[in-house]
A and B are shown apart, each in its own frame.
Chain A
Amino acid sequence: MKRYIVLLISLLCISTASAWNKFAQQCIATLAEQNLTEEAKSEATKILGGDLASNSWWLQTIAKEEATKYTSSWHYIKVNAEHKSVTKSKKDGVVQIERCVDILENRAEHSDSTVVAALKSVIHLVADMHNIAHIRLEDIPTSQRNFNIQISNGFTGKKAKIAQVTWRKYWEANLINRHASYSPELFAADLETCHGADKERFSAGDVRYWAADMASLAAAQYKWAKPDMLMSREKDNRLEQMNEKTMARAGYRLAALLNGIFK
C-alpha cells in the first residue's frame, strides 16, 4: 500500500504542481526580458541560443537527474533570525546566484557550456528565491516550514468545497493557477502595467538585500499560517495580489542583474 501512496503522490505532483511552476518561471523570465537593455538582451540570447523564458525551466529538469540531483537544494535560500542571508553554503540559492554571476562576469575564462549553465541557473534561481515557500527562515524548524492547509471555495451548503494542499504547493502552484489561461507574455504585460512604476525601487540593492526583503515577507506569512488552517476565499484573494507583486519583484531584479552583468 505504501508503494501505491508514493505513486499516487507522484501522480498528483505531475498533474498539477510542476506545470504551474513552469508558467510562473516563464512569466518572470518574460518580464525580465522585456526590461533588458538591448546589449544585455543580445548577449543573453547569444549565450542561450533562445529567449529567457524557454530556458527558465532547465534547472528544474536537471534536479531530477541522478548526476545533478545535488542542485535541488539550490532552489531554496536560507536566512538567519534577523532575516539576513549570511550563508556561504554551496547548497544555498543566493550563494549559487553569486557563483553564477561571477562566471558570467568572467565568461571569457570559462567554457561555453559552463556559461550557458550559469545563465540558465540565474534565470531560474532569481525567480525561485522570490517564492515565499522557498525561503528557509532559521528560526522556523524544518518540520514547520511545510504543512497541509485547507482552501475554501467560499461557498456554503451544497456548493462548498474544501481542497487540501501543502503550504509549498500553495505558493508554487495554487496562486498562479488563476492566470494559467494567459500566455506568459500577457501576464508579464499585466505585471508591467501594475508594477512598472515600482521597477527601480524593486530592483535596488543586491542579491543578499533581495533575500532579506523576501525573508521579511515570508516571516510575516509564517506568523499567521498554521497547519490544517482553513484559508478563506478572501485571504486567498489577497495573497494572490501579494504573490504577483513578488513575481514582479523577481522579474525586475533578474533584469537588473543581467543588465549589470552584460553592460
Chain B
Amino acid sequence: MKRFLILAAVALSFAATQSAKAWNNIGHATIAVIAERHLTDEAKEKCRSYLKHNLPYYASWMDYWRNCPGFEATTSWHSVPVDVNNRQIKGETNNAAYQINRICKRMRKYHKLKDSIVCDNLKYLIHMVGDMHCPTHTKYSPDEPNLKQRSVKMKGKKLGFHTFWDGSIGYYNKGMKCDQIAAMYDTLTEAEIAQICQGTPNDWALANAEQMREIYTLLPVHSEVTEISEQNHERMKQIAMQQALVGGYRLAKVLNDIFSK
C-alpha cells in the first residue's frame, strides 16, 4: 500500500506539473488577447497577414523555441536586468527592453523587410512585451539579496518564487480561459489606457523595476502560499492582473505604432 501511495503521489505531482505549465501559457495568452482587443483594424489585419494566426497563438512561441538550434541567443531575452537604482544595466543586450527597442527600430521599415523577418519580429514582440511585465522578470542586482529569486511552498512542497508568479494569472483565475480573463479585466477607459501606454519600453522597464520590489515583501522566502494573509493574496492578485493588463495594452501600442506608419 505504501508503495502505491508513493506512486500515486508521483502521478499527482506529474499532473500538477502539467497544469503549472498551462498557467504560464495562460498568462502570456491573456496578455495577447488583451492586446488583440486593442489593435487598430489596420494593425490587426497586418498582424494576421504576417503571422497567419491570431496573436495569442504565438504568445508562448519564444518559450517553445528558446532551446532549439538557431534560437539559443534568445534564451536570455525574457527579462530586464536592473541595478540598485532600477536602471537597466548599461550595455547588457540580454535584456527584453533592449531587444524590444531594437526590434521596434527595425520594424519602422517593416514593408522593406522580408515577410518571414517581419513575422519572426512580431512573434518576439508578442512574447517579450508580455514577459517584461511579468512580476519576476525584472532581474534585480545581486547586491540586493532581499530581491533574489527564492523558494516558497505550495501545500508543503517547494515551489520556485518565479514559477509561482509566472503562474499567478492562472492561480488567481482558476477554471477560466485566457479570453474569459481578458474580457473580465479589460475594462479601463481609453483615457486610462492612453495614460498607461505613455513613454517608451525603457520607461516601462523603469516603472516595473520600481513597482515590482513589493512582491518580495508580500510572499517572503520559504512562506507557504496557501497560508499567507488574505490581504497579501488580494494585493498579489491585483499586481498580477495589473501587470497583465498593462502588458496587453502596451503590446497593442507597440504593434499599432509599427503598423500606423
Contacts and interface: CB of A to CB of B under 8 A. Distances in A.
Interface of A: 1, 4-5, 7-8, 11-12, 15-16, 153-156, 177-183, 185-186, 189-190, 193-194, 232-234, 236-237, 240
A234 B8 CA distance: 31
B8 A8 contact: yes
Contacts, number: 94
Interface string B111-155: 000000000000000000000000000000000000000000000
Contacts of A190: 53-54, 56-57
Contacts of A182: 29, 56, 177-179
A186 B53 contact: no
A181 B54 contact: no
B105 to A, nearest CB: 28
A193 B67 contact: no
Interface stretch (B12-20, B81-89, B240-248): B12-20
Given A181-B170, A186-B56, A233-B67, A7 B177 contact: no
Interface string B7-43: 1100110110010011101100110010000000000
Contacts of B26: 181
13 contacts: A8-B11, A15-B15, A16-B14, A154-B64, A154-B67, A179-B25, A181-B22, A182-B29, A182-B179, A233-B64, A233-B65, A233-B68, A240-B64
B60 interface: yes
Contact of B18 (A16, A154, A156): A16
A199 B8 CA distance: 45
Interface string B176-187: 011110000000
Contact of A12 (B15, B22, B48, B170): B15
B22 A4 contact: no
B3 interface: yes
Report the 7 A-B pairs with minimum CB-CB distance, sorted nearest first.
A154-B67, A181-B26, A15-B15, A4-B4, A183-B177, A234-B68, A186-B179
| Interface of chain B: mostly helix, strand, loop or mixed | helix
**Residue in A177, A186, A234, A240 with the greatest tally of chain B CB atoms within 10 Å:** A186
A142 to B, nearest CB: 27
A234 B12 CA distance: 28
Contacts of B177: 181-183, 186
Contact of A177 (B11, B22, B66): B22
Contacts of A179: 25, 57
Given A154-B66, A181-B26, A183-B177, A193 B11 contact: no
Given A4-B3, A234-B65, A236-B64, 9 more contacts: A4-B1, A7-B4, A11-B11, A16-B14, A179-B57, A181-B29, A183-B178, A189-B54, A237-B64
A182 B33 CA distance: 10
Given A4-B4, A181-B25, A186 B11 contact: no
Nearest to A153: B67
A16 B20 CA distance: 13
B157 interface: no
B69 interface: yes
A194 B178 contact: no
Contacts of A4: 1, 3-4, 7
A160 B67 CA distance: 10
Given A4-B4, A178-B60, A194-B52, A237 B65 contact: yes
A180 B15 contact: no
B67 A177 contact: no
A177 B167 CA distance: 16
A186 B68 contact: no
Contacts of A5: 7
Contacts of A181: 22-23, 25-26, 29-30, 170, 177-178
B56 A183 contact: no
Contacts of A155: 67
Nearest to B179: A186
A156 B67 CA distance: 9
Contacts of A15: 11-12, 14-15, 18
